[in-house]
Amino acid sequence: MAGLPHLIRPMLASLRHELPEDEESYGWELKWDGLRAIAYVGEGTVRLVSRNDKEMAASYPELAVLADRVGTPVILDGEIVALRDGRPDFGLLQSRMHVQQPDDKLIRAAAVQMFVFDVLYLGHDSLLEQPYTQRRAELEKLGLNADPVHTPPWHRGGAAGVLADSIAKGLEGVVGKPLTSHYHPDQRRDWIKVKNVKQQEVIVCGWKPGAGRRADMIGSLLLGVYQDGKLRYVGHVGTGFTQDMLDELMAELTPLGRETSPFDTPVPAQQARDARWVEPRLVGEVAFAEWTTDEILRQPSWRGLRIDKGPRDVHRED
């Protein structure tokens, strides 16, 4: 793809707990629960690159149709999702994340789509310094709105209605982008997100075995986040797992075993007892009720691994 940048990291959004007073100065989009991807399209090929620079095109061959749908080289920003009953299903998407060459059976069982919400380069012209409204206009001219690639709508103001729509559709929340905002790769500037449910990226730092027949299997995971440069214990999670998730976690964690705790802060004795410690390399995500006063996740439920995040990127969101 001569003439196009080889790597542009996606722009990020900062978490807010309520809509801004000047919400009419934002463009509002639904927040899709999937895997962020930058698509580099040109010369008959498609590269899909994750937030942490992993090449993903081989895992999602159905998205190669992008090469036939645009007549000029482009760089696009979007989200890869797997839908169940019309709603993003992050658990279903998990079955595709670690498969480099999925067979036809898996592709049919866990079909993915890409919702494209920004265009960063058009031809060899950078649009990074163009306002959000202009980039959106150029994106819509591409006509990307047929399975498995879609351009979801955006709304000028009207944030409360968009948020209500996201709740009705069982979606994660909304993203607000100032109408005049430029695209700042790999930075949290201007864009905001408001979620319907609380979610937190976490680092898996150990596990505790279950009981009975599961005595040698994962019963719960010990979780951490980085805070002020230190890996801090934030609780444990023992719900939300499917058997496939547990099997995958065991396969990933077994070679990462270590003798001592990787945490820089104390772990409650009850959780440290019989813990199997691991190198803090795997990143996952949980849904939870709230943070307790001592900064522990309350009622967390496992959502799945995040292959698009590195451990050093994991901090408490709010």
Could you list the active site residues? Answer: 31
- Strand-pairing partners, residue 94, are none
Q: Is 135 exposed, middle or buried (0-12, 13-18, 19+ CB in 10 A)?
A: buried
CB 291 within 8 A of CB 232: no
- Strand-pairing partners, residue 43, are none
Give which of 149, 152, 113, 118 is closest to 132, Cα–Cα: 118
Give which of 217, 215, 190 is closest to 20, Cα–Cα: 190
**What are phi and psi for residue 25, nearest 5 degrees?**
-90, 10
- Strand-pairing partners, residue 88, are 83
HEC sequence for 58-78: HHCHHHHHHHHHCCCCEEEEE
Q: Going edge to edge, which strands form the sheet with 26-31?
A: 12-16, 188-195, 173-178, 26-31, 155-156
Helix, strand, or coil (residue 121): strand
**What is the Cα–Cα distance from 109 to 104, expressed in whole angstroms?**
9
> In the structure encoding, which two tokens stand for residue 34, read together?
């999937």
